[in-house]
Amino acid sequence: MRRRCTSGFPTFWCVFDVTGWERRATELEAQASRPDFWQDPQAAQETMRDLARYRAEAEQWRTLERRAVESRDLAELAEMEGDEALAADLARDLGALEKEVDRLEFELTLSGPYDERNAVLAVHAGAGGTESQDWAEMLLRMYLRWAERRGFGADLVDMTPGEEAGIKSATVEIQGRHAYGALRSERGVHRLVRLSPFDADHARHTSFALVEVMPEVDDSAEVAIGPDDLRIDVFRASGHGGQNVQKNSTAVRITHLPSGIVVACQNERSQSRNKDLAMRILRARLLELELERQTEERARLKGEHVAAGWGNQIRSYVLHPYKLVKDLRTGYESTEPQAVLDGDLDPFMEAYLRAQVGQEVTTP
């Protein structure tokens, strides 16, 4: 919770230890100025990433501090002169300031070791043929719209189209600060209930799709892959119906033999580019596999039950006979499913992350 100072303004710059971030940034700057700093490139890169993070965190809170002081001075001026127009402008500024404080305060819940990273998101259609494949494509569009709203980059790495409509699966790289931290709340099974556009009788159908979310791996040192662990195949990229759309074999399929994980990339025209992308996705999947193993082991030691795979349904989207999107983990609801499917996901993500840190979740 934020404390209030005597003037009524949030003392967020004290609560969140901005001075500590600035002090840490100064220490890292001193390390970076040493002559031998770049002798260990990997450690140097980690230090520079930390330095940039501490600088950015401190600066954004200091900027809010300056805005709060300016608003306080304007409030005193408006009160002395009885300026109603200035008071109205001040009220708008304070509303915007409060929203910014809430946003930054929420970002403090994104404190996991990988939360700041880019994300790799994969969508897989469940059983049900065309219905589920169409639902998987709707989910893919939803996440691309969400990324666009956030100003994040989104690159489609690989996609397998459905026979009649939709997609069987797709993998996307989402680039943006805290992309993984926000999107990890989406991991699990998503359920859709609607009148089918593919059924001549317009009967109500239930469809399922699985969403996977993995943190991008910064370097190969985080995930050990032996020289004999991989089988790499090349083939021609294909389009709808399986037809070849390129004359050269530019698509790449990498199989990680110890785990059985298979990654294919075919959206780039260069074989080397597809191989690089496939390796990045493979490292992300291996890291996520290790994180899941650690989570299951901690739960086992605590005696907790961990639902996995298709049993882990997290959210229902009902378009008929009523309109409702409900997160089954937090209870958060929205009666505007079209807005959610257009990328308005932040309230659901925030509700999940607040629940993870023990904060109360409310539905407006």
230-254 pLDDT, tens per residue?
999 988 776 544 444 444 567 899 9
Average pLDDT over residues 244-272: 79
The answer to whether residue 192 is domain-embedded is yes
**Residues 274 and 153 reside in one and the same domain:** yes
Q: Are residues 185 and 96 in the same domain?
A: no
Show the domain range for 47: 12-107
Q: Is the pLDDT of residue 15 over 60?
A: no
Three-state SS at 63 = helix
Residue with the bigger pLDDT between 228 and 142: it is 142
Burial of 262 (0-12, 13-18, 19+ CB in 10 A): middle
| Number of H-type helices and E-type strands within the chain | 9, 11
In a domain, 346, yes or no: yes
- pLDDT above 50 (res 100): yes
345 shares its domain with 237: yes
Which pLDDT band holds residue 127 (cuts at 50, 70, 90)?
confident
* CA–CA gap between residue 327 and residue 317 (Å, rounded): 9
| β-pairing verdict for 230-235 and 167-175 | unpaired
pLDDT band at 358 (very low <50, low <70, confident <90, very high): low
Residues 67 and 143 in one domain: no
Distance CA 41, CA 37 (A): 8
Q: Which candidate, 311, 120, 305, places its Cα nearest to that of 213?
A: 120
Within a domain: residue 184?
Answer: yes
Report the predicted TM-score, pTM, of the whole model to 2 decimal places.
0.71
* 240 lies in the same domain as 123: yes
Helical residues (DSSP H) of 108-241, grouped into ranges: 130-150, 179-183
| Same-domain status, 291 and 324 | yes
Name 75's bridge partners: none
Q: Does residue 347 sit within a domain?
A: yes
Strand order in the sheet with 261-265: 230-235, 251-256, 261-265
Q: What is the CATH number of the domain that holds 283?
A: 3.30.70.1660
Joined tokens for residue 286: 């291996």
User: Final residue of a domain: which of 81, 107, 133?
Assistant: 107
Average pLDDT, the chain: 81
Residue 177 corresponds to which amino acid? R
The residue with greater pLDDT, 123 or 201, is 123
Residue 113 lies in a domain: no
Same domain, 289 and 212: yes
| Residue 306, pLDDT above cutoff 60 | no
> What are the backbone angles phi and psi of residue 337, rounded to the nearest 5°?
-60, -30
In a domain, 361, yes or no: no
Q: How far apart are CA 362 and CA 103, in angstroms?
A: 16
Q: Is 134 found in the same domain as 250?
A: yes
Q: Say if residue 56 is in the same domain as residue 154.
A: no
Give the β-pairing of 313-318 and 188-195.
parallel
**Which residue's structure tokens are 């970002």?**
107
Q: Taking 60 as the threshold, does the pLDDT of residue 310 lie above it? A: no
The residue out of 55, 77, 107 marking a domain boundary is 107
Q: Residues 231, 308: one domain?
A: yes
Picking from 57, 79, 107, the residue at the C-terminal end of a domain is 107
* Total tally of structural domains belonging to the chain: 2
Do residues 31 and 139 both lie within one domain?
A: no
User: Does any domain span residue 4?
Assistant: no
* pLDDT tens digits along 198-220: 887 778 889 999 999 999 886 65
The answer to whether residues 140 and 229 belong to one domain is yes
Q: What are the C-alpha distances in Å from 47 to residues 38, 179, 342, 344?
A: 10, 21, 38, 35
**Bigger pLDDT: 126 or 358?**
126
> Quick check: 281 and 268 in contact, CB under 8 A?
no
Lowest mean pLDDT among 4-13, 106-115, 131-140, 331-340: 4-13
